[in-house]
Amino acid sequence: MKSRDFLLLLFLSIFTTTMAQEKKSFTLEDLMPGGSNYYNLQPKNEWYEWWGDKACMKLGIDDIQGIWTGIDGNKAGSRFTVITLEEVNNLLVKNGLSKISHFYNASFPFDKKRPDDKMLLVNTKSDRVLIDWAKKAIVWSQKRDEKGANEDWNTLSRNLAFTIDNNLYIKTADGKQYQVTDEPDGIVCGQSVHRNEFGITKGTFWSPKGNKLAFYSMDQSMVTDYPQVDISKRVAELVPDKYPMAGMTSHKVKVGIFNLSTQKSVYLDTGDNTDKYYTCISWSPDEKNIYLVELNRDQNCAELIKFDASTGEKLMTLFREEHPKYVEPSHPLTFLPWDDSKFIYQSQRDGFNHLYLYNTNGKEIKQLTSGKWLVLDLLGFNIKDKEVIISSTEISPLQSNIFGVNIANGKRHLIGEKDAYNSPMLSHGGGFALNKFTSHNVPRTIELISTSAKGRKFNLTLLSQENPMKDYKMPEITVGTIKAADGITDLYYRMVKPIDFDAKKKYPAVIYVYGGPHAQLIHNTLNYDTRGWDIYMAQKGYIVFTVDNRGSENRGLEFENVTFRNLGTEEMKDQIKGVEFLKSLPYVDADKLGVHGWSFGGFMTTNLMLTYPEIFKVGVAGGPVINWEYYEIMYGERYMDKAQDNPEGYKKANLTLRAGNLKGRLEIIIGGNDPVCVPQHSYSFLRAAIDAGAQPDFFVYPGSEHNMVGKDRVHLYEHITRYFEDHLK
Given 323, 413, 518, 706, the catalytic residue: 706
CA–CA dist 576, 547 (Å, integer): 10
For 136, 228, 283, 384, 680, the CA distances from 623, given in Å and listed in that order, are 52, 15, 39, 49, 11
Contact residues for 584 (Cβ-Cβ < 8 A; gap 6+): none
**Alpha helices in 397-550, H assignment, sequence order:** 532-539
Following DSSP, what letter does each residue of 653-665 receive, concatenated?
H-GGGGGGG--SE
Q: Strand locations in 394-541, DSSP E? A: 401-406, 412-415, 421-426, 432-439, 442-450, 459-465, 477-483, 490-496, 507-512
Identify the active-site residue in 599, 682, 684, 704.
Answer: 599
CA distance 259 to 236: 44
Is 674 considered catalytic here? Answer: yes
Burial-class residue 222 by CB neighbours within 10 Å (0-12, 13-18, 19+): middle
SS3 content of the chain, % helix, strand, coil (to 5): 20, 35, 45
Cβ atoms < 10 Å from Cβ of 259: 16
Contact between 464 and 445 under an 8 Å Cβ cutoff? The reply is: yes
Is residue 704 annotated as part of the catalytic site, yes or no? Answer: no
The one catalytic residue in 440, 674, 681, 727 is: 674
CB 261: neighbour CB atoms within 10 A? Answer: 8
C-alpha distance across the termini of the chain, in Å? 54
What is the Cα 37 distance to its own chain's centre? 24
Give the C-alpha separation, 120 to 104, whole Å: 12
232 is annotated as an active-site residue = no
Q: Which residues are catalytic?
A: 599, 674, 706
